[in-house]
Structure 1
Amino acid sequence: MDRVSELARAKAAVIFTKSSCCMCHSINTLFHDLGASPAVYELDRETSGREMEWALQRLGCSPTVPAVFIGGKFVGSAKDVLGAHLNGSLRDMLIEAKAIWF
């Protein structure tokens, strides 16, 4: 849990993913299209990936990936991020966290 929290706070935007997850790829692409360069941690390629996935489950991530953090705060999964994008709040969160500048 400490490792996930540490990584989530290390950069303005953080996405925990799996390399085979199409929604993870879509969320990563969305962030890049908005001008953000998130830190991306592929749990299936991390040495402690299984433990990190369990920590994300304990945080309430369901499904566990993609799990998105902005400004060190858990935003949610793909459904939550896409909803925030559609209502315009995702861009505002990224600006507030200094993940993008306008």
Structure 2
Amino acid sequence: MASSVAINSEHTKSKAVNQQQPDNPYMIVRTLASNNAVVLFSMSGCCMCTVAKCLLFGLGVGPTIVELDHHSTGPDIQTVLFQLAKEGQQPVPAVFVGGEFLGGIETLMACHINGTLVPLLKDAVGLETEYPE
């Protein structure tokens, strides 16, 4: 079952392109999660991150991807994700769907296998697939 730690207690409006992101790493995560249907926090050389990307793209979802090793506050964001992850789980990849923290690769794959991922994605992005629910 997916962990659903809410990251957005209130809906925030999209920010203008020229407006800077917040400096607080928690606010960066919260803003990205609440302004995008699916967000994947990743490390560019991580094989499990690649698996998560391939799964989401294979299901027809184009997630917002944040490569933490290329982001100016990547280590601080990773600390926030570590706090959200369950004990013993890796903080990256970290997947947010519909503004809520879904989890890491274990949760993503479990949801895919047990059939709950596609309905979550349908609700978040209007995903239209031929996969059974």
Task: Bin the TM-score by the shorter chain.
Answer: over 0.9
Conservation of the 8 A alpha-carbon contact between 2:85 and 2:104: no
> Within the alignment, does 1:73 sit opposite 2:97 as a pair?
no
| Higher helix proportion (structure 1 or 2) | 1
| Matches of 2:61 and 2:32, distance apart in 1 | 17
Matched residue SS, 2:69: coil
Normalising by structure 2, what TM-score?
Answer: 0.73
**Cα distance change, pair 53–74 in 1 and its aligned pair in 2 (3 A):** same
Normalising by structure 1, what TM-score?
Answer: 0.94
CA RMSD for the aligned pairs? Answer: 1.2
The match for 2:113 among 86, 89, 100 is 86
The match for 1:63 among 79, 90, 99 is 90
Cα drift, residue 80 of structure 1: 0.4
Matched residue SS, 1:36: coil
> Within the alignment, does 1:98 sit opposite 2:120 as a pair?
no
Runs of 4+ that moved beyond 3 A: none
The match for 2:77 among 20, 33, 52 is 52
Cα drift, residue 60 of structure 1: 2.6
1:63 counterpart letter in structure 2: Q
2:35 counterpart letter in structure 1: A
| Matches of 1:99 and 1:11, distance apart in 2 | 13
* Count of residues in correspondence between the two structures: 102
What is the aligned-residue identity percentage? 35
| Matches of 2:58 and 2:83, distance apart in 1 | 30
Ranges in structure 1 where 5+ consecutive residues have no aligned partner: none
